[in-house]
Structure 1
């Protein structure tokens, strides 16, 4: 099993065609076919099956593709870390950002790191907390923002910030930041909610139970942007973290107020794997991400948020 075989395996799986894979790898088709066949003979299993839609990995092939991709990523990471660059921090760092934080944090983080550490190859992945935690456990992320979690046997969780959840309504509702809305009042409207099982939905459901109210759920979605779009269109109100609605309030497309009776908060942590050495590039990115969050809270860009912890970086 060698690098060329693994590269051929991944490429065929991605494009579904030996011919197209050969073009992308700058090889002749028989060479790619031979690499796949040799790998299958070594493993004693079939890695692909031919379908009308093209070459599709078998169950064994899917496992090999996933593992091969990770192995090649680690080799690429090692190459970047050991490449001579006196005095510079270099390497590949893959960061997970919660969807609600991307508008506030992504661009400033990239700008700062480009200036301070041009040798770092930064890769940003955005998703919901549950997906990000799974990818962090699987080794696909180096660090990630997560919420409402403690340290686990596999992950360190450093508390960063906690923020109030807000009631969000169309601009015509006239909600105000200085006039909190009781949960019962919000629940009197049709609600556009995160899908059941989503971590934010768990917090909202717990708040509804504490308020002893039933929610009239008009729609559910796994996208914060869709939540806001449906609210703008008049399908109901919703509940979101303040960091995800600051721009909408500023431009007047939505109105919002802190949720109260009861207050509902979420806490955000910076999670990193416990095992293995932490490369300098990962440490540098973690430091800059923490600084961006603290700066956003200090400047008031992160609505009703409180910094957690004062330890030095």
Structure 2
């Protein structure tokens, strides 16, 4: 397999069109078609389904395209690391951020890395903890924020902070200074994460301990959907403080910590144990620790406290 063939495979798979791929790769269309046919001849199976609507990867094509993306990324990383630069660490770093932390963490992290390490090409992916853990195991991200995860033979974990989860209410809700109990929360219809989601597990455990019987009007795997439904008055929800801090401060939502029992999560930074950690990843990990701790210390991350290792 040649590099140009793998580039053609990935680009056609992403665009669904030989013509568009040829334009992006700055080659003529017949060349792209030739690269794809050569790959199919080599592996012995069709890699695309061809129709009037365009080119769609077959199951075999999906497998090969995913491996090709990783190989191309590793080549990009190698080029970045060996490019001469006497002053700065260089390289490509892909960082996984929990969807609930993006609003607080992404901007200061990218700013700090750009200021301290301008030679690093930063790439950020966001998702729920389960997806991020899979991406970390698969090598799709170099490091990731996860929660309630311990070190294992495959990943090394650094605890960053402990964060309370909040009850979130519509913006016109009158909330006093008293703490919110589960009985108070369950007086309202709830919008919760889908069953099996890590946050939903925490909520279900707390509901069981409080012997509360909620009315669940909607379950979703999207935090923006949860916030939107609460904002328009569909019901209340339970979400990490990091994911709603800006909304509460701006008056788009109301909310506060829950008691009897309180509910919280520990956010950690996870890196793979296998292989050499490139310098760019090492300094990026250090910057993540610095940024998250600063957000806690200056009060930007509500109800959070710096976690202690061990």
Q: Look up the match of 2:175.
A: 175
Q: Give the whole-Å Cα distance in 1 for the aligned partners of 2:95 and 2:307.
A: 21
Equivalent residue number for residue 195 of structure 1? 194
Q: Is contact 2:46–2:61 with CA below 8 Å preserved after alignment?
A: yes
2:150 and 2:241 map into 1 onto residues whose CA distance is 22
Between the aligned partners of 1:100 and 1:281, the Cα distance in structure 2 is 25
Structure 1: gaps of 5 or more residues: none
Aligned to 2:224: 225
Residue of structure 1 in register with 2:302 after alignment: 303
Q: Number of paired residues? A: 310
> Distance between the aligned counterparts of 2:22 and 2:272, measured in 1?
37
Residue in 2 that maps onto 1:91: 91
Q: Does 1:66 align with 2:58?
A: no
Counterpart-to-counterpart distance in 1, 2:105 and 2:15: 33
Q: Is the 8 A contact 2:159 2:309 kept in 1?
A: no
Kept after mapping to 2: 8 A contact 1:104/1:243: yes
The alpha carbon displacement at 1:51 in A equals 2.2
Q: Partner residue of 2:123?
A: 123
Aligned residue for 1:24, secondary structure, equals helix
- Does 1:243 find its partner at 2:242? yes
Q: Secondary structure at the match of 2:300?
A: coil
Deviations 1:109-165 (A, max 9, x none): 111111111000001111111111111111000011001111222211111111111
Once the two structures are superposed, what CA deviation does each residue of 1:213-256 show, in whole Å capped at 9, x if it has no partner? 12210112222222121111111111111112222222222221
Q: Name the counterpart of 2:233.
A: 234
Q: Is the 8 A contact 2:158 2:309 kept in 1?
A: no
Aligned residue number for residue 283 of structure 2: 284
Pair 110,255 (structure 1): closer, same or farther in 2 beyond 3 Å:
same
SS at match of 1:164: strand
1:1-313 matches, within 5 Å, as: 1-176=1-176, 178-309=177-308
Q: Which moved more, 1:219-228 or 1:201-210?
A: 219-228
TM superposition shift of 1:102: 1.2
Cα distance between partner residues in 2 of 1:172 and 1:303: 21
1:310 CA displacement: 6.6
Deviation of 1:104 after TM superposition, in Å, equals 1.1
Determine the C-alpha separation between the residues in 1 that align with 2:237 and 2:171. 13
- Tell whether the 8 Å contact from 1:179 to 1:257 is kept in structure 2 after alignment: no
Q: Are the aligned partners of 1:179 and 1:258 in contact in 2 as well (CA < 8 Å)?
A: no
| CA distance in structure 2 between the partners assigned to 1:67 and 1:117 by the alignment | 29
The 2-side partners of 1:21 and 1:87 are apart by: 37
* d(CA) in 1 for partners of 2:223, 2:96: 16
Q: CA deviation at 1:262?
A: 0.6
Aligned CA-pair RMSD: 1.4
CA distance in structure 1 between the aligned counterparts of 2:122 and 2:22, rounded to whole angstroms: 29
Please report how far the alpha carbon of residue 48 of structure 1 lies from its aligned counterpart in structure 2 after TM superposition. Answer: 1.5
SS at match of 1:257: strand
Normalised to the residue count of structure 2, the TM-score between the two structures is 0.96
